[in-house]
Amino acid sequence: MGLTPMMQQYLEIKESCKDCILFFRLGDFYEMFFEDAEKVSKELELVLTGKDCGLENRAPMCGIPYHAANSYISRLVNKGYKIAICEQLEDASASKGIVKRGIIKVVTPGTYTDSSFLEDNKNNYIMSLYVDSNKNLVALSFADISTGEFSCTDTQYDLSIILDEISKYNPKEILIQDNLDDKICEQIKERFNVSFTRLPDQMFTTDAEETLVSQFSNFDKGEYTDTLIKACNGLLSYVIDTQKIPLPHINEMEYYNIVDYLTIDSNSRRNLELTESLREKSKKGSLLWVMDKTNTAMGGRQLRKWIEQPLIDKKAIQKRLNSVEELLNNISAHEDLKDALKEIYDIERLVGKISSKSVNAKELISLKNSIEKIPAVKNILSSFKSNLLNNMYSNLDELKDIYEILDEAILDNPSISVKEGNLIKEGYNKEIDELKTAKAHGKEWIASLESNEKDVTGIKSLKVGYNKVFGYYIEVTKTNLNLIPEGRYIRKQTLANAERFITPELKEMEDKILGAEEKLVNLEYEIFIQVREKIEAQVDRMQVTAKIIAELDCLSSLSTIALENNYIKPEITNSEELFIEEGRHPVVEKMIPSGNFVANDTHINTSNEQLLLITGPNMAGKSTFMRQVALIVLMAQIGSFVPAKKAVIAVCDKIFTRIGASDDLAAGKSTFMVEMWEVSNILKNATNKSLILLDEVGRGTSTYDGLSIAWSVIEYISGNSKLKCKTLFATHYHELTKLEGILEGVKNYSVSVKEIGSDIVFLRKIVRGGADQSYGIEVAKLAGLPEEVINRAKHILERIEKENGSDINIEDISNLREVAVDKVESNEKENSTEVVVEESIKESAINTSVKSSNVSKNTLEVDVSMQMNFADIEKQNLVKEIASIDVLNMTPMDGFNKLYDIIKKAKSL
Q: Which residues are annotated as a binding site for ATP?
A: 616-623
Q: Judged by CB, which is closer to ligand ADP: 620, or 630?
A: 620
Report the nearest approach of Mg ion to the CB of residue 622 (Å). Answer: 5
Q: Judged by CB, which is closer to Mg ion: 285, or 442?
A: 285
Q: Considering only residues 742 through 781, tell me which ones interact with ligand ADP, judged by CB under 6 A.
A: 764
Report the nearest approach of Mg ion to the CB of residue 619 (Å). Answer: 8
- The listed partner (ligand ADP, Mg ion, none) that binds 764, CB under 5 to 8 Å by sort, is ligand ADP
Contact in structure between 253 and 289 (CB atoms under 8 Å): no
Distant-in-sequence, close-in-space partners of 59: CB < 8 Å, separation ≥ 6: 7, 33, 34, 37, 50, 51, 52, 53
Q: Within 13 Å of residue 25, how many CA atoms lie on the same side as its CB?
A: 22
Stretch that binds ligand ADP, among 268-276, 440-448, 611-619, 827-835 (CB under 6 A): 611-619
Report the nearest approach of ligand ADP to the CB of residue 831 (Å). Answer: 23
* 426/407 Cα distance (integer angstroms): 11
Report the nearest approach of ligand ADP to the CB of residue 585 (Å). Answer: 7
Report the nearest approach of Mg ion to the CB of residue 694 (Å). Answer: 11
The gap from C-alpha 257 to its chain's centroid, in whole angstroms, comes to 24
- Residue 79: Cβ-neighbour burial (10 angstroms; 0-12, 13-18, 19+): exposed
Three-state DSSP class for 721? coil
State the DSSP H helix or E strand holding residue 511, giving kind and residue range, or none if neither: helix 504-536
* 39/81 Cα distance (integer angstroms): 10
Please give the backbone phi and psi of residue 202, each rounded to the nearest 5 degrees, phi first.
-65, -20
DSSP H helical segments within 170-313, as ranges? 182-191, 201-205, 208-215, 226-243, 266-271, 287-291, 297-308
| Binding of ligand ADP by 622 (CB under 6 A) | yes
Contact in structure between 429 and 411 (CB atoms under 8 Å): no
Distant-in-sequence, close-in-space partners of 490: CB < 8 Å, separation ≥ 6: 501, 502, 503, 504
Report the nearest approach of ligand ADP to the CB of residue 621 (Å). Answer: 3
| Binding of ligand ADP by 618 (CB under 6 A) | yes
Q: Judged by CB, which is closer to Mg ion: 310, or 616?
A: 616
In 3D space, the residue among 179, 182, 137, 144 whose CA is nearest the CA of residue 162 turns out to be 137
- The listed partner (ligand ADP, Mg ion, none) that binds 549, CB under 5 to 8 Å by sort, is none
Helix axes 331-342, 539-565, angle to 10 degrees: 130
Q: Judged by CB, which is closer to Mg ion: 320, or 627?
A: 627
Q: Judged by CB, which is closer to ligand ADP: 61, or 693?
A: 693
Q: Judged by CB, which is closer to ligand ADP: 548, or 619?
A: 619
The size of the interface with ligand ADP (CB under 6 A), counted in residues, is 16
By beta-carbon distance, which residue lies closest to ligand ADP?
A: 621
Report the nearest approach of Mg ion to the CB of residue 621 (Å). Answer: 8
**Separation of first and last alpha carbons in the chain:** 64
| Binding of ligand ADP by 500 (CB under 6 A) | no
By beta-carbon distance, which residue lies closest to Mg ion?
A: 623
Please give the backbone phi and psi of residue 694, each rounded to the nearest 5 degrees, phi first.
-120, 120
Of 32, 380, 598, 644, the one binding ligand ADP by CB under 6 A? 598
* 206/200 Cα distance (integer angstroms): 10
Contact in structure between 773 and 620 (CB atoms under 8 Å): no
Report the nearest approach of ligand ADP to the CB of residue 29 (Å). Answer: 54
Q: Judged by CB, which is closer to Mg ion: 360, or 623?
A: 623
| Binding of ligand ADP by 850 (CB under 6 A) | no
Of 10, 81, 219, 597, the one binding ligand ADP by CB under 6 A? 597
| Binding of ligand ADP by 266 (CB under 6 A) | no
- The order of strands in the sheet holding 471-477 is 463-467, 471-477, 498-502, 490-494
Contact in structure between 723 and 717 (CB atoms under 8 Å): yes
Q: Which residues participate in the annotated binding site? A: 616-623
Stretch that binds ligand ADP, among 509-517, 621-629, 667-675, 803-811 (CB under 6 A): 621-629
Stretch that binds ligand ADP, among 45-53, 423-431, 620-628, 645-653 (CB under 6 A): 620-628
- Residue 722: Cβ-neighbour burial (10 angstroms; 0-12, 13-18, 19+): exposed
C-alpha dist (Å) from residue 713 to 665, 710, 746, 854: 23, 5, 12, 36
Q: Judged by CB, which is closer to ligand ADP: 322, or 624?
A: 624
C-alpha dist (Å) from residue 158 to 131, 667, 705: 10, 21, 30
Report the nearest approach of ligand ADP to the CB of residue 819 (Å). Answer: 32
Q: Judged by CB, which is closer to ligand ADP: 386, or 752?
A: 752
Of 151, 237, 624, 727, the one binding ligand ADP by CB under 6 A? 624
Q: Judged by CB, which is closer to ligand ADP: 149, or 863?
A: 863
Contact in structure between 686 and 723 (CB atoms under 8 Å): yes
| Binding of ligand ADP by 862 (CB under 6 A) | yes
| Binding of ligand ADP by 623 (CB under 6 A) | yes
CB count within 10 Å of CB 726 equals: 29
| Binding of ligand ADP by 580 (CB under 6 A) | no
Report the nearest approach of ligand ADP to the CB of residue 815 (Å). Answer: 34
Report the nearest approach of Mg ion to the CB of residue 695 (Å). Answer: 6
> Three-state SS string across 735-780, please?
HHHHHECCECCEEEEEEEEEEECCEEEEEEEEEECCCCCCCHHHHH
Stretch that binds ligand ADP, among 143-151, 431-439, 622-630, 880-888 (CB under 6 A): 622-630
| Contacts with Mg ion, residue ranges (CB under 5 A) | 623
| Binding of ligand ADP by 621 (CB under 6 A) | yes
| Binding of ligand ADP by 858 (CB under 6 A) | no
Q: Judged by CB, which is closer to Mg ion: 356, or 727?
A: 727
- The listed partner (ligand ADP, Mg ion, none) that binds 619, CB under 5 to 8 Å by sort, is ligand ADP
Please give the backbone phi and psi of residue 224, each rounded to the nearest 5 degrees, phi first.
-120, 160
* 640/321 Cα distance (integer angstroms): 6
Q: Judged by CB, which is closer to ligand ADP: 527, or 620?
A: 620
- The listed partner (ligand ADP, Mg ion, none) that binds 621, CB under 5 to 8 Å by sort, is ligand ADP
C-alpha dist (Å) from residue 520 to 130, 394, 410, 471: 52, 43, 15, 18
Stretch that binds ligand ADP, among 99-107, 432-440, 617-625, 645-653 (CB under 6 A): 617-625
Report the nearest approach of ligand ADP to the CB of residue 284 (Å). Answer: 15
Strands, E assignment, 664-715: 691-695
Report the nearest approach of ligand ADP to the CB of residue 730 (Å). Answer: 6
* 216/219 Cα distance (integer angstroms): 5
- The listed partner (Mg ion, ligand ADP, none) that binds 597, CB under 5 to 8 Å by sort, is ligand ADP
Q: Judged by CB, which is closer to ligand ADP: 558, or 634?
A: 634
Of 402, 588, 713, 763, the one binding ligand ADP by CB under 6 A? 588
The gap from C-alpha 685 to its chain's centroid, in whole angstroms, comes to 29
Report the nearest approach of ligand ADP to the CB of residue 751 (Å). Answer: 6
Of 106, 274, 550, 619, the one binding ligand ADP by CB under 6 A? 619
| Binding of ligand ADP by 658 (CB under 6 A) | no
Stretch that binds ligand ADP, among 3-11, 110-118, 569-577, 588-596 (CB under 6 A): 588-596
DSSP H helical segments within 107-181, as ranges? 159-169
| Binding of ligand ADP by 546 (CB under 6 A) | no
The residues facing 453 across adjacent strands are none
Q: Judged by CB, which is closer to Mg ion: 543, or 615?
A: 615
Q: Which residues form the interface with ligand ADP (CB under 6 A)?
A: 588, 592, 596-598, 616, 618-624, 764, 862, 866
